[in-house]
């Protein structure tokens, strides 16, 4: 079996890679029967020479390989027929901008495996960049606060080498006595929490956060049952009741918005769940949040201040609660919003190392153990020019019927 680490061709350039040189070396050691080639790239965070120094062939032509491993969408013209491809295809939610990509994959008889569809038996994702989105998102949020209030000027995350460098910069700033709210319980929120803890910001309980004042900055991490309540007034203790019956709940987020200065959105939002806060909520004089770092970045969704995704080049904008429009983020009436939707790109070295570790643990073994855990079978979107049964719901999307 021949594996190719392919060049990223999407713009803007993405410097990440699924396997760093050290992880690829580890993969070769664990699976000596596998052959790994590296497609030459002038943008990858790890230079070609580093792969070559570890004995890997770096080449312009990987067409003799069986499995192509990348990060972002592969341009249609670069797709090689009759190969297996791994990348974020952004097609499984029927994203219209990638309809032609999926059509071409089927026409070229390509087996597509999306990183998002690599899940365990219970449907939980096995690999992803979520932790790194949380790390960079929290950093960018503090950078946003400093720029909004001219309190400090943190450098952009992208040019810094790793998480340790981000933490070093954060520990140079002098935080005011603000209350910081973090939503979520998964990889994204855990990554953000790593940064808060590395700054030695005190974590407090929901009760204390809502009712006490502090003479130091504090944060509170909350999950769905903290910011949602049952419509019938009964007390919910089982998160699966919320996941299975979101229509029986309403948001209870405003009690947090009244006392929060800086909000970091690191939650997963499921279809049918209540919005955390609406545009009407933001108009309330009780709404106290001044800066929002929306890592989840669901546009026009549960975090009503997120009008659009922002970019690494231009990460901040302002939201005017009364006009519900975008304004300058320094406007005195504005809520400053950071809603970059590709945050891990700003931490390419760490993100690549972590991604490769997960890929080596869960995906590569499946090629050599007859896929005993069903990882490849569950992840496969296309085969023999057709959608697989699990992804047959995309049929009308491919045909352009919807």
Q: 45-74 burial string, b = 16+ CB within 10 Å, else e? A: bbebebbeeeebebeeebeebebbbbbbbb
Dist CA 290 CA 243 (whole Å): 30
- The tokens describing 254, both together, are 């405003």
Dist CA 251 CA 273 (whole Å): 9
- The tokens describing 303, both together, are 């975090």
Contacts 24+ apart (CB under 8 A), 385-392: 385/106, 385/107, 385/109, 386/106, 387/106, 391/92, 391/117
Dist CA 256 CA 181 (whole Å): 8
90 is catalytic: yes
Residue of 10, 90, 248, 258 marked catalytic: 90
10 is catalytic: no
Residue with tokens 């990882």: 375
The answer to whether the CB of 350 falls within 8 A of the CB of 317 is no
The answer to whether the CB of 249 falls within 8 A of the CB of 230 is yes
Dist CA 64 CA 206 (whole Å): 57
Q: Work out whether strand 2-5 and strand 67-69 pair parallel, antiparallel, or are unpaired.
A: parallel
Q: What do you get for the CA distance between the two ends of the chain, in Å?
A: 38
The answer to whether the CB of 229 falls within 8 A of the CB of 252 is yes
Residue with tokens 């943008």: 43
Dist CA 11 CA 263 (whole Å): 30
Residue of 7, 23, 72, 362 marked catalytic: 72
Q: Which residues are catalytic?
A: 72, 90
């Amino acid at each position: 079996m021949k594996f190719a680490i392919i060049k990223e061709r999407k713009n803007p350039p993405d410097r990440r890679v699924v396997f760093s040189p050290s992880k690829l070396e580890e993969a070769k050691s664990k699976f000596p029967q596998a052959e790994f080639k590296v497609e030459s790239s002038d943008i990858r965070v790890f230079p070609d020479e580093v792969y070559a120094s570890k004995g890997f062939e770096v080449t312009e032509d990987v067409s003799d390989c069986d499995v192509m491993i990348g990060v972002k969408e592969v341009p249609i013209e670069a797709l090689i027929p009759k190969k297996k491809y791994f990348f974020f295809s952004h097609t499984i939610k029927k994203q219209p901008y990638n309809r032609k990509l999926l059509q071409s994959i089927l026409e070229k008889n390509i087996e597509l495996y999306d990183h998002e569809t690599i899940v365990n038996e219970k449907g939980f994702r096995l690999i992803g960049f979520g932790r790194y989105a949380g790390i960079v998102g929290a950093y960018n949020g503090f950078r946003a606060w400093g720029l909004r209030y001219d309190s400090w000027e943190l450098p952009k995350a992208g040019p810094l080498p790793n998480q340790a460098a981000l933490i070093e910069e954060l520990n140079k700033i002098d935080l005011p006595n603000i209350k910081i709210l973090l939503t979520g319980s998964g990889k994204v929120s855990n990554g953000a929490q790593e940064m808060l803890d590395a700054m030695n910001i005190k974590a407090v309980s929901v009760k204390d956060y809502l009712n006490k004042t502090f003479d130091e900055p504090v944060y509170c991490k909350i999950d769905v049952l903290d910011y949602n309540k049952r419509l019938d007034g009964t007390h919910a203790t089982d998160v699966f009741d919320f996941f299975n019956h979101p229509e029986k709940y309403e948001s209870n987020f405003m009690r947090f918005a009244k006392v929060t200065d800086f909000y970091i959105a690191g939650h997963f939002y499921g279809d049918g769940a209540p919005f955390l806060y609406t545009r009407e909520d933001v108009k309330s004089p009780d709404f106290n949040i001044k800066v929002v770092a929306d890592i989840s970045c669901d546009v026009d969704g549960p975090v009503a201040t997120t009008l659009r995704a922002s970019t690494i080049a231009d990460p901040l904008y302002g939201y005017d609660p009364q006009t519900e429009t975008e304004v300058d983020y320094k406007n005195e009436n504005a809520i400053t919003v950071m809603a970059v939707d590709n945050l891990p790109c700003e931490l390419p070295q760490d993100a690549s190392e972590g991604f490769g570790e997960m890929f080596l643990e869960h995906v590569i073994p499946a090629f050599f153990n007859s896929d005993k855990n069903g990882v490849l079978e569950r992840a496969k979107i296309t085969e023999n020019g057709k959608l697989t049964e699990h992804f047959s719901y995309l049929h009308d999307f491919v045909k352009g019927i919807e």
